[in-house]
């Protein structure tokens, strides 16, 4: 396998969790809800996925448990913000804090225990093709799922009636409610979907990216995913581009560390976070662009007047 090919492969592996979590959050925000708990749901998905896989020996069950854990863990957020109209920023933040605490408690006895890796796809003939074989036909199943998700979500949001309704809920919940659309129901669906995606992204980390459990192993990826949604101005295909850009930055700095260019490793490690700030600034300085694309009801609590 060539150097370039292996770098591209690792970039895809690093970009996939960001992509999945960001796509989930994009749907949540399109429905008008800002869930800052991505990091917490992701780390719960990572720990539950890992533990389930370690106990049963099946990475597939691990993935399933990761998805379920993320979705279940989004429920308290949904109840608080949607049913009893708490502040979404603070509630999301508490979801993240609780998730980080709960995951380190659950995973404590699994630190250092051997992980199970989700097997890569192998199609005789195709996977062995030079250059593109491994890239297109030899990756882990979650990679394919992530690409599928991007197109499925694009189709759902912009080509289906339900998707249109979801966006209308996010743009003006009062009008949507007046039209008889169950605003809270739609938002529950979106938040659960976002939780499931974050859980899947977490499971990818602990079952594919680095098949082991380390406390706080999400390392801010949930927050980067949130930034990606802004970066993408709430468009799924741009999330795809953004996630791969960040995957490239992450892998690039790892290679730079391995080469030992005399740059402090800590500076290189902080590059993905600095890059997040830079792209956020570049995107949001264009006020009109952000104003047009931001779901108008984003982050605002909705209390039906009757």
Residue ranges binding other proteins (CB under 8 A)? 36, 76, 80, 83-87, 89-91, 93-95, 97-102, 104-105, 108, 219-220, 223, 226-227, 230, 264, 266-267, 269-270, 273-274, 276-277, 280-281, 284-285, 287, 290, 303-304
Nearer to other proteins, 111 or 131 (CB): 111
For other proteins, the closer CB: 114 or 264: 264
Least CB distance to other proteins at residue 198 (A): 16
CB 35 within 8 A of CB 25: yes
Closer residue to other proteins (CB): 8 or 224: 224
Measured from the CB atom, the residue of 161 and 285 that comes closer to other proteins is: 285
Cα dihedral 254, 268, 150, 238 sign: negative
Contacts of residue 282, defined as CB under 8 A and 6 or more positions apart, other chains included, come to none
Nearer to other proteins, 124 or 260 (CB): 260
Cβ 243 to other proteins, closest distance in Å? 16
Question: Whole-angstrom Cα distance, residue 225 to residue 239?
Answer: 9
* Closest C-alpha among 217, 193, 260, 223 to residue 23: 193
Q: Could you tell me the smallest distance in angstroms from the CB atom of residue 238 to other proteins?
A: 17
Q: How far is the CB of 272 from other proteins (least distance, A)?
A: 8
C-alpha distances out from residue 66 to 40, 62, 129, Å: 12, 6, 33
Q: Are 111 and 213 in contact (CB under 8 A)?
A: yes
Smallest gap from residue 113 Cβ to other proteins (A): 16
Q: Give the nearest distance from C-beta 253 to other proteins in angstroms.
A: 11
- Phi and psi angles of residue 173, each rounded to the nearest 5 degrees, phi first: -70, -30
What is the closest distance, in whole angstroms, from the C-beta atom of residue 125 to other proteins in the complex?
Answer: 44
CA-based nearest residue to 250, from 275, 233, 228 = 275
CA–CA gap between residue 46 and residue 214 (Å, rounded): 9
Please check whether residue 82 is in contact with residue 191, taking contact to mean a CB–CB distance below 8 angstroms.
yes
CA dihedral 132, 134, 138, 143 (to 10 degrees): -70
**Nearest residue (CB) to other proteins, 141 versus 299:** 299
Q: Closer to other proteins at the Cβ: 127 or 290?
A: 290
Torsion of CA 260, 266, 268, 272, to 10 degrees: 160
Nearer to other proteins by C-beta: 48 or 80? Answer: 80
Shortest Cβ distance from residue 17 to other proteins (Å)? 17
């Amino acid at each position: 396998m060539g150097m370039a090919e292996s770098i591209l492969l690792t970039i895809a592996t690093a970009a996939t969790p960001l992509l999945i979590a960001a796509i989930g959050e994009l749907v949540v925000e399109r429905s008008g809800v800002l869930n800052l708990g991505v990091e917490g749901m992701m780390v719960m998905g990572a720990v539950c996925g890992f533990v389930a896989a370690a106990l049963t020996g099946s990475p597939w069950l691990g993935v399933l448990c990761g998805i379920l854990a993320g979705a279940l863990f989004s429920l308290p957020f949904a109840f608080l913000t949607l049913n009893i109209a708490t502040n979404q920023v603070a509630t999301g933040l508490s979801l993240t804090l609780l998730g980080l605490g709960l995951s380190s408690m659950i995973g404590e006895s699994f630190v250092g225990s051997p992980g199970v890796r989700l097997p890569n796809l192998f199609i005789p003939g195709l996977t062995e093709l030079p250059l593109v074989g491994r890239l297109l036909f030899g990756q882990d199943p979650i990679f394919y799922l992530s690409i599928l998700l991007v197109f499925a979500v694009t189709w759902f949001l912009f080509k289906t009636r339900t998707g249109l309704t979801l966006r209308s809920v996010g743009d003006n919940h009062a009008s949507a409610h007046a039209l008889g659309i169950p605003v809270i129901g739609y938002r529950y669906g979106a938040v659960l979907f976002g939780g499931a995606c974050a859980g899947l992204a977490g499971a990818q980390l602990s079952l594919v990216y680095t098949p082991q459990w380390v406390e706080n192993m999400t390392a801010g990826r949930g927050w980067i995913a949130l930034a990606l949604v802004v970066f993408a101005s709430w468009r799924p295909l741009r999330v795809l581009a953004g996630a791969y850009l960040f995957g490239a930055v992450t892998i690039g700095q790892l290679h730079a560390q391995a080469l030992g260019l005399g740059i402090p490793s800590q500076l290189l490690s902080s590059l993905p976070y600095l890059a997040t700030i830079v792209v956020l600034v570049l995107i949001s300085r264009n006020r009109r662009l952000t104003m047009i694309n931001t779901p108008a009801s984003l982050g605002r609590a909705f209390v039906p007047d009757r």
